[in-house]
């Protein structure tokens, strides 16, 4: 007994519509099922691809880690070498400074010796003219050697091999 609220439509019409709708519904459900299968397949492919990617990336990570370690060791070596070279450089700088100080002292002494030689020469000329004795000759001999010594010292200083 239909409810008075219900629209009075022919049952055959209704059934025909419902059957047609059921057929369409079946088609849609089949298409949806295929769609879900495609989605599943695609998700499986995606999963496989992702796994491959993860493996590749893991390997890459390991390589990168090893390389990083090697580079870190090389850097440590370089840092140590660099520290030693810095120390050596410091020593060399100190030696050069000392040589420069010595050179300055020798040059001062050389100037004093030059002056003394000039005075002695003058004195010798005076004495040679006055006496010509033995003492004067010995002095003259000493004076002849003195310039050679001075030249030797000058040579050593020029080569950077002056007294330490």
Partner 1 sequence: MVSFSSARQPSVSIIVTGWKDARSLGDCLTTLSQNVPETIPHEVIVVLNEPTDALLASLRASVSGIRLLHFRSNLGFGGAINCAAAIARGRAFALLNDDCFVEPRWLEELLATIDERPRCGVVGSRFLHPDGSLQEAGCVIWPDGTTTGVCQTREAPFAQFAHRVDYCSGASLLVRAETWNQLGGLSEDYYPAYYEDVDFCLRAASLGWEVWYQSASRVSHARSTSTSPTLKTFLLERAREVFTTRWAEWLAARAPVRQIEEAIWFGMGCPIRVLIVDDELPDPGRGSGYGRMFDALTMLAASSEIHVAFHGRLPPQVDSGTFTRLGIRVVDDLATHVRQVHTDYDVIVVSRPHNASAVMTMLIERFPGARVIYDAEALYAQRLARQMPLVPVERQAELSRRVEAEEREECAHVAHAHEVVCISREEADTIQTWTGAPVTVVEPWLLETKLTSATFDERRDIGFVAAWACGPESPNADGLCWFLDAVFPRVCAALPETRLYVTGDSPPPAVLEYASAAVVFTGRLPDVATLYDRIRVAIVPLRYGSGVKLKTVEAIQSGVPVVGTSEGARGLHGYGCNLVRVADDAESFASAVIELLSNHATWCEMRTALTSACWTSRAYSHGVGAWPRIIRNAAAPVRREAARYA
* Binding residues for partner 1 (CB under 8 A): 3, 5-7, 9, 14, 17-19, 21-22, 24-25, 28, 31-32, 35-36, 39
Whole-number Å distance between alpha carbons of 141 and 124: 11
Complex with partner 1: residue 36 or 156, whichever CB lies closer = 36
Q: How far is the CB of 7 from partner 1 (least distance, A)?
A: 5
What 3-state DSSP class applies to 17? Answer: helix
- Crossing angle of helices 11-130 and 134-158, rounded to 10°: 170
Q: How far is the CB of 50 from partner 1 (least distance, A)?
A: 20
Complex with partner 1: residue 14 or 121, whichever CB lies closer = 14
Whole-number Å distance between alpha carbons of 60 and 80: 30
Complex with partner 1: residue 21 or 74, whichever CB lies closer = 21
């Amino acid at each position: 007994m239909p409810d008075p609220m219900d629209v009075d439509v022919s049952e055959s019409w209704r059934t025909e519509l419902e059957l047609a709708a059921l057929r369409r519904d079946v088609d849609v459900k089949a298409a949806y099922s295929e769609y879900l299968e495609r989605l599943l397949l695609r998700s499986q492919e995606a999963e496989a691809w992702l796994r491959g990617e993860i493996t590749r990336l893991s390997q890459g990570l390991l390589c990168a880690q090893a390389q990083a370690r090697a580079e870190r060791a090389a850097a440590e070596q370089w840092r140590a070498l660099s520290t030693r070279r810095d120390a050596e450089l410091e020593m060399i700088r100190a030696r050069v400074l000392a040589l420069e100080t010595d050179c300055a002292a020798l040059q001062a002494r050389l100037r004093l010796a030059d002056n003394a030689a000039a005075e002695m020469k003058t004195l010798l000329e005076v004495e040679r003219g006055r006496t010509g004795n033995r003492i004067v000759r010995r002095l003259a001999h000493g004076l002849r050697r003195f310039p050679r010594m001075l030249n030797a010292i000058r040579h050593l200083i020029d080569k950077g091999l002056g007294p330490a």
